[in-house]
Amino acid sequence: MGRALRQARRADARGEVPIGAVVVRDGIVIGSGFNLREGAHDPTAHAELVAIRKASRKSGSWRLTGCTVFVTLEPCLMCMGAMILARIDRLVYGCRDPKGGAAGTLYDVSDDKRLNHRFSVVAGVMEDECSRMLSNFFSAVRTRKKAEQNGTSSEELGHEQMALPEK
């Protein structure tokens, strides 16, 4: 999970929502990624999908059997669907996503008997660190937006400048 957090920091440095993911097989990282939705102008550029695509290319197959995906935030429906399609064996995530989590919070796609593949899920690994990174990011976004609305710079409020996604 430490490597996924490092990926999340890379997203944060670019003004992206700080979510990171890695795909591991036999103890070796075969794919890693971070959220790139804003910079790529791509709603599917989630950290998990970036990491899964890289892992598939590196392994020479779309089947990622024997792999574990580590991600800092509970995956959404799209990312869980990709993990099912990729036949991953296990998901490990940091903090729950109460607005979009599909690995047990809103849905539990990983164990849906109607689907052709199921996998184990481990939740809450390094949860505090993962949650804190997201909370800090969104707090800074809200502070910046409020400062812009009031005509005050975030530096005057004592906060670092951060790039906000274009509307």
Decide the pairing of beta strands 28-34 and 20-25. Answer: antiparallel
Catalytic residue at 38? no
Closest CA to 93 of 121, 126, 71, 120: 71
- CA distances to 19, 35, 111, 126 from 14, in Å: 12, 10, 35, 23
**Residue 131 CA to its chain's centroid (Å):** 12
Catalytic residue among 48, 129, 148, 166: 48
Decide the pairing of beta strands 28-34 and 120-123. Answer: unpaired
d(CA 161, CA 92): 32
* DSSP state string for 90-106: EEEEEE--TTT-TBTTS
Task: Indicate which residues carry an active-site annotation.
Answer: 48
